[in-house]
Amino acid sequence: MSELKPRKDLLDIESLELAEIEYVLENAVPFKQLFQRSVKKVPTLRGKTVLNLFYEPSTRTSTSFEVAANRMSADVTNFTVSSSSVVKGESLLDTIETLQAMRSDYIVIRHQAAGVPGIVAKNTGASVINAGDGYHAHPTQALLDAMTLREVYPDYQGRKVVIVGDILHSRVARSTSTLLHKLGIEVAVLGPGSLVPEGRHDFMTRLRSWDEVFDWKPDAVYLLRVQMERQEGQFFPSIAEYHKMYGMNSERLVRMRELGAYLMHPGPVNRGVEITDEAMRYERSLISTQVENGIAVRMAVLHWLKPETDKD
């Protein structure tokens, strides 16, 4: 694990080297063990400041980052921009100026426009962590997914994961599939043709039905959230039809049990859409583990990145 090049920002998965991924995932393990203790804090980032900058509503991710930063003993400021006063386009540079003046060491940013975290990163010495930008990337989600899979499958290489749902509009699908591929895990996708773009990816196998999925024998099934707010057009006829075609129901749970396959979801789930109540209680669901690992992975990311705030 020696001689990693210092990295200032975490913007996507594509640009990460395998050694960096290993470094973060391995460091996340002791951070997670910390959660069993009565004192869950380490002093690593005492005196450092983390700015949580969310241009898109998100309770889960922003809270996860906040908890992670708190457990690292950093000071956290939450800066949520309501969607009504969306600051985008022209004023982005002005916003960065303002951020600079706040002298944060870490900026966690979620933005509806792809590429914005990169623009912020270029214009500040703070370490920028992309917490989701448009359809582009959500690297900490991918890292927590990988951590979760590695816990249940220490022999993860060569395992198979199928991602189900809206691939076209999903930054989670992009980042997680890329990371799993880098780790040597096979990835397939299931979803309607209107949401699973043809010929965009070099490594994802397209499956066309649950029968094909179960024949493929996945080790884990990763359900994506149906992003109702992102459906600017009609990509499928109705929620009911989506549920019937692609949702996880009791019938499909039987096949899951037969295979011993795990169930994952980035949250928050739409019950009755991509998953039934019964499937939520599936004994091999990793959904809560994902949430817990999210905090550990984010602590490991804060620990890993090297801000250049001294140079400002």
Partner 1 sequence: MGYVSRLFKNGRIATADSPDLRVADILVDECGVVSVIGVGLTAGEGVEVIDCTGCLLVPGMFDVHVHSREPGYEHKETLASCAAAALHGGVTGVVLMPDTSPPVDSGNLVKSAQDLVSEISPISMYQSGCLTKGRQGTELAGFSGMAARGVPMLTDADRSVPCPDLMRRCMEYAKDFDLLVTSHADTPALTKAGAINEGRVSYRFGLPGIPAISQEIAIDRDIRVAQHTGARLHLQQLSTARGLKSVQCAKEAGTSVTCEVSAHHLVLNELDIKDYNTHFKFNPPLRSLKDNEALVQGLIDGSIDLIASDHAPHTEFEKSSDFGSAPFGATGLETTVLVLFDRFINRGIFGWDLLIQRYSDAPRRLIGLKPVAIKEGAAAEFFVFDPAASTTISRDYLRTKSPVTPFMGETLSGAIRKTVVGGVLHE
Q: Which positions touch partner 1 (CB under 8 A)?
A: 14, 88-90, 92-93, 111, 113-116, 118-119, 133-137, 168, 171, 174, 197, 199-201, 232
Measured from the CB of residue 34, what is the shortest distance to partner 1 in angstroms? 33
The pairs formed by 60-66 with CB atoms below 8 angstroms and a separation of 24 or more are 60/267, 60/268, 60/291, 61/110, 61/131, 61/132, 61/140, 61/141, 61/294, 62/108, 62/110, 62/131, 64/291, 64/294, 64/295, 64/298, 65/108, 65/129, 65/131, 65/140, 65/298
Measured from the CB of residue 191, what is the shortest distance to partner 1 in angstroms? 14
Residue among 88 and 257 whose Cβ is closer to partner 1: 88
Residue among 88 and 103 whose Cβ is closer to partner 1: 88
Residue among 107 and 261 whose Cβ is closer to partner 1: 107
Measured from the CB of residue 135, what is the shortest distance to partner 1 in angstroms? 4
Residue among 92 and 152 whose Cβ is closer to partner 1: 92
Measured from the CB of residue 166, what is the shortest distance to partner 1 in angstroms? 13
Other C-beta atoms within 10 Å of 63: how many?
15
69's enclosing H/E stretch is: helix 60-71
Tokens representing 171 are 């930054």
Measured from the CB of residue 175, what is the shortest distance to partner 1 in angstroms? 9
Residue among 74 and 168 whose Cβ is closer to partner 1: 168
Residue among 16 and 286 whose Cβ is closer to partner 1: 16
List, edge to edge, every strand of the sheet that includes 127-133. 75-80, 49-54, 106-111, 127-133
Measured from the CB of residue 201, what is the shortest distance to partner 1 in angstroms? 7
- Cβ 175 vs Cβ 12: under 8 Å: yes
Distance CA 47, CA 128 (A): 18
Measured from the CB of residue 90, what is the shortest distance to partner 1 in angstroms? 6
Q: Coil, helix or strand for 189?
A: strand
Residue among 230 and 255 whose Cβ is closer to partner 1: 230
Distance CA 279, CA 246 (A): 13
Tokens representing 297 are 């992975």
At position 77, the amino acid (one-letter code) is T
At position 65, the amino acid (one-letter code) is F
Measured from the CB of residue 82, what is the shortest distance to partner 1 in angstroms? 18
DSSP annotation of 169 reads: T
Residue among 135 and 235 whose Cβ is closer to partner 1: 135
